Amino acid sequence: MSGTLTVVGLGPGDRRYLTPDADEAINSADALYGYAPYLARVPVRGHQIHYPSDNREEAARAAAALAHATCGGNVAIVSGGDPGVFAMAAAVCEAIETGPEAWRALDVMFIPGVTAMLAVAARIGAPLGHDFCALSLSDNLKPWELIGRRLDAAASAGFVVAIYNPVSRARPWQFGNALGRLRRRLPPSTPVVFGHAVGRSDERVDVTTLDAADGKNADMATLVIVGSRETRVVARPGKPPLVYTPRAAVEVSA
Ligand code: SAH
């Protein structure tokens, strides 16, 4: 009596960012699993049961949802943004790879959502208009040394860098350290965008430069975009500037 498991992206904020596909998947679920604040964004419907959990419990949450689906019913796991970007989709795949054989036989679907870097970029122009990469600064699941090496490589190779998880309560200093590393490889005037709680009522988007960027401007709901040598800021009278990375790149400078 096997059921289904759907891993659903809620987008970055309010329901305008929820795709019709994600909405349908949520409506047809009997049980919803997720990090408590994300689950709180989904109204409880009569027949549904919510199973909120803490954000450090991704593996346990994936296992619980898979076990539930194996017993029958339509189970959904919700993620903020896109479930495939530093979120639950990979945790579910890891659990299926290492878990009981029955989990491999389940119908599992992944419903994409608008990830934070795209929502922030759209607020300000086109900072991701040319080659870019995304990096999580969380060192829960990888050593800080590796994060540092990847930042150095990304900046040296000319990628715009979207930084997820810049800070957390347990990681107060890493983002400042990351800015220091980037300053050694990029010009002081490199544009930096801080997008805080984009798509929510307390949204704030600030544009600054790498030399003026202050680590204290970022919190757990901030996505930071650090430009490349090509990224430009277009001032506009009476309007916020546009930040964009041109479609053509001349050369990669280390
Ligand atoms: N799966 C999510 C990312 C989870 S990691 C996604 O695709 O967006 C959590 C990090 O995402 C936060 O620390 C922050 O860097 C970023 N983030 C999530 N929602 C955001 C929002 N509304 N505004 C800005 N950044 C956000």
Of all atoms in ligand 1, which is nearest to the CA of residue 84?
1
- Edge-to-edge order in the sheet of strand 4-9: 49-53, 31-35, 74-79, 4-9, 107-111
How many other CB atoms sit within 10 Å of the CB of residue 243?
25
DSSP annotation of 45: P
- pLDDT higher than 60, residue 252: no
**Count, residues in the chain:** 254
- pLDDT higher than 90, residue 149: yes
pLDDT in tens, 182-195: 999 999 999 999 99
Q: Are strands 31-35 and 74-79 parallel, antiparallel or unpaired?
A: parallel
pLDDT in tens, 30-53: 999 999 999 998 988 888 999 999
pLDDT for residue 253: 55
Question: 166 alpha carbon to ligand 1 midpoint, in Å?
Answer: 10
Question: 107 alpha carbon to ligand 1 midpoint, in Å?
Answer: 27
Identify which of 134, 128, 159, 158 has the alpha carbon closest to the alpha carbon of residue 147.
134
Cβ of 115 below 6 Å from ligand 1: yes
Question: 225 alpha carbon to ligand 1 midpoint, in Å?
Answer: 12
How many other CB atoms sit within 10 Å of the CB of residue 49?
13
